[in-house]
Structure 1
Amino acid sequence: MLAIIGSGEYLEPMTAVDRELLDLFDTPANVVCLPTAAGREGDAMVDDWMHRGVDHFNRLGAHAEPIRVWDRATADDPDLADRIAAADLVYLSGGKPSYLYDTLVDTRAWQAISDVIDRGGLLAGCSAGAMIQGELFAGVPRSHGGFALWPGCHILPHFDEIPPPVVSAMRVAIGRDRTLIGVDGDTALLNSNGTYRVIGRRVTIWTRSDKTEFGPGEIPADAILAPA
């Protein structure tokens, strides 16, 4: 299972969204909160992201713990990877998407996250944590490859904050052969075993031929998986 979230991780407006994600599990979920995308922002910020996540999910009835993966060394730490692998829900909070990808790729931590997904757990990523799940994401100075968990897709979080002319320019820049998925703040797009559901406000799907807005509820799989 996969969830891409536009913005607002660990804040009160996300409570209903995260409750719905936790309801995917029959028993209280074991949640791990990774602050990796903020790894260049200093120890205080890394610790703040971890503890905000743990406090948020514990309030919602989960069993949450922080995993201090912030650089390549910690991403390859076998003990931390084992703790990730034991989770039901892995949550990647926001920061720098290129740093997040480059820190996780080809590491024990990413293998542990993949193992969680493969056995039916959930990877939820907000902002940068959403962007790296696509096949491509916007980077500096050029676009950056992602983990392609959403094949053929380019994920744009904070979609409700981006001016339409900028979105149109990005649509051109990423190429017409990819599907653009725009996720508003306080919103998740969930892929649960091939069933897609919007939780929160709005998701915009822009293929080669159509640009469609979806409110809360299930959306057709072919809206995303059809050829771009």
Structure 2
Amino acid sequence: MVRPERRLALLGGGFSSDDDGLLDDWVLGAAAAPRPAVCFVPTASGDAPAYAERFLAAFRDRACEPSVLPLFRRELDDEGLRDFLLAQDVVYVGGGNTANLLAVWRAHGVDRLLREVYDRGGLLCGISAGANCWADGSHTDSFGPLAHLPDGLGLLTGSVCPHYDSEPGRRPSYRAAVARGALPAGWAVEDGVGALFADGALTDTVTRTPHARLYRVAPDGAGGTSEIPVPCRLLGGPGRTAGPA
């Protein structure tokens, strides 16, 4: 048997922040099924009801089968939880507190199940904390002030920093963490960007806004960091063009 590609996507937006649906349509287009089963996991927000409802409102009229997985008021036993997650073509993780998300997932065994989904070819994706969680480490405000978190599922080698262009202090703080070795080299995601990885390799980078970028941030060998922009394909059809990389 040929092993399916193991894929995940880092999102700098989606239904919770954008009104054009471009990144969410891109995610659905990357799914392995024509009408994918898409599960929203709002753990990082404490299963905020309004967040879950916003997801359902955004996806129920799309060509997919949307659902929500609550863990704070869990309804499924271990076997049911595994069956449910393995039936998903896309697992879409929401934003919130990265450290809390990881702790709750581990308490319920969701971390192990998501690895199984990943190994079976399901697409894992998410925004903010839902992007941070897949890497070896991340840049987060889980503890209040911006800090490095050398913890994650390790499905994506290196580190992730979300909101690279939109939250004050993100860029210098992340670069400083990478420069001093508190976080490994990684990916800085500006709002509006989507980055798809297959078997750990970057295979597609898109943006819904002309000047948003993904950056590869790594130590430069001289006590600082290099910051290399990755060219992005502009979503939205003909007539739209991305600015210089």
Question: TM-score normalized by structure 2?
Answer: 0.75
* Other-structure match for 1:179: 185
Figure out how many residues of one structure are paired with residues of the other and give that number. Answer: 210
Post-superposition offset of 1:20: 1.8
One of 61, 64, 69 as aligned partner of 1:62: 64
Partner SS, residue 143 of structure 1: strand
- The CA deviation at 1:137 is 2.2
Please name the residue that 1:206 is paired with: 217
Which residues in structure 2 correspond to 1:1-228 (within 5 Å)? 1-13=7-19, 15-24=21-30, 25-39=32-46, 46-70=48-72, 77-105=78-106, 107-138=108-139, 139-140=142-143, 143-144=148-149, 145-151=151-157, 153-163=158-168, 166-177=170-181, 178-193=184-199, 194-200=201-207, 201-209=212-220, 210-217=226-233
In the TM superposition, residue 118 of structure 1 has moved relative to its aligned partner by 0.6
Contact 1:82–1:112 at 8 Å: present in 2 too?
Answer: no
CA deviation after TM superposition for structure 1 residue 109, in Å: 2.1
Q: Which has the larger radius of gyration?
A: 2
Which consecutive residues of structure 2, in runs of 5 or more, have no partner in the other structure?
Answer: 1-6, 221-225, 234-245
The aligned amino acid for 1:111 is R
Which amino acid counterpart does residue 215 of structure 2 have in structure 1?
Answer: T
The answer on whether the counterparts of 2:38 and 2:66 sit within 8 Å (CA) in structure 1 is: yes
Alpha carbons 1:76, 1:107 under 8 Å: kept: no
2:60 is paired with a residue whose SS is: helix
Structure 1 range deviating more: 201-210 or 112-121: 201-210
Worse overlay, 82-91 or 135-144: 135-144
2:238 match? none
Change in Cα spacing, 1:69 to 1:106, as seen in structure 2 (3 Å) is closer
Residues 11-70 of structure 1: CA distance to partner in whole angstroms, max 9, x if unpaired?
A: 44461222122112341110001110011xxxxx62222222122222321111111123
Contact kept, 8 Å, 1:34 with 1:67, in 2: the verdict is yes
Per-residue deviation at 1:134?
A: 1.8
Runs of 4+ in 1 over 6 A off after TM superposition: 73-76
* Separation (CA, whole Å) in 2 of partners of 1:216 and 1:202: 7
Distance 1:155 1:76, change over 3 A: farther
Q: Which residues of structure 1 form unaligned runs of 5+? A: 40-44, 218-228
C-alpha deviation, 1:79, in angstroms: 2.2
The AA in structure 1 aligned to 2:213 is R
The more displaced of 76-85 and 17-26 is 76-85
Offset at residue 75 of structure 1 (A): 8.8
Percent pairwise identity: 23
